[in-house]
Amino acid sequence: MEPGTPACGTPFVEATVVRAQSPTSVRAGDSAKVAPDGTIDGFVGGACAEASVRLYALRSLQSGEPVLLRILPSGPESEPSVEDGAVTVQNPCLSGGALEIFLKPRLPAAMLRVVGTTPIATALADLGRRLGYAVEQDPAEGTQTRADDAAVLVASHGHDEERILTAALRDGVPYVGLVASRKRGDAIKLSLDLTDEQRDRLHTPAGVDIGAVTPEEIALSILAEVISLRASDAAARRRLLPGEPELEPAAVAQSLPVNDESEPRPEVVPLAPVEVAMDPVCGMEVALSPASIQLERDGDRFYFCSEGCRDSFAAEGAHGATIG
What are the domain boundaries of the chain? 12-108+273-316, 111-234
| pLDDT tens for each residue of 244-300 | 444 443 333 333 334 443 343 333 344 556 888 888 888 888 998 889 999 988 888
Residue 297: alpha-carbon gap to chain centroid = 34
Q: What is the distance between the alpha carbons of residues 91 and 307, in angstroms, rounded to a whole number?
A: 15
Looking at residue 248, what is its pLDDT?
A: 41
Averaged pLDDT for residues 70-85: 74
Element (H, E) at 309: helix 307-316
Q: Where is pLDDT greater, at 171 or 283?
A: 171
| pLDDT tens for each residue of 194-210 | 999 999 999 999 999 99
Averaged pLDDT for residues 15-41: 90
Averaged pLDDT for residues 56-77: 84
Does the model's pTM come out above 0.75?
no
Indicate if the pLDDT at residue 64 is higher than 80.
yes
Name the DSSP class of 254: G
CB of 89 closer than 8 Å to CB of 80: yes
Q: What is the distance between the alpha carbons of residues 132 and 261, in angstroms, rounded to a whole number?
A: 5
SS3 2: coil
Q: What is the distance between the alpha carbons of residues 97 and 25, in angstroms, rounded to a whole number?
A: 9
Indicate if the pLDDT at residue 215 is higher than 90.
yes
Within a 10 A sphere around the Cβ of 320, how many other Cβ atoms? 8
Query: For residue 85, what pLDDT band results from cuts at 50, 70 and 90?
Result: confident
CA atoms within 13 A on the CB side of 61: 30
Could you please report the per-residue DSSP string of 31-65? Answer: EEEE-TT--EEE-SSSHHHHHHHHHHHHHHHHHT-
What are the φ and ψ backbone dihedral angles of 58, each rounded to 5 degrees? -65, -35
Residue 229 Cα distances to 63, 142, 212, 235, angstroms = 17, 28, 19, 10
Q: What is the distance between the alpha carbons of residues 118 and 191, in angstroms, rounded to a whole number?
A: 23
Lowest mean pLDDT segment, chosen from 4-13, 197-206, 224-233: 4-13
Q: Which CATH number fits domain 111-234: 3.90.1300.10, 3.30.565.10, 3.40.50.300, 3.40.50.720?
A: 3.40.50.720
Averaged pLDDT for residues 104-121: 92
Indicate if the pLDDT at residue 241 is higher than 90.
no
Question: Per DSSP, what are the bridge partners of residue 66?
Answer: none
Reduced to 3 DSSP states, what percent helix, strand and coil does the chain have, rounded to the nearest 5?
Answer: 30, 25, 45
| C-alpha radius of gyration, the chain, whole number | 24
| pLDDT tens for each residue of 172-192 | 999 999 999 999 999 999 999
Looking at residue 240, what is its pLDDT?
A: 40
Q: What is the distance between the alpha carbons of residues 46 and 305, in angstroms, rounded to a whole number?
A: 10
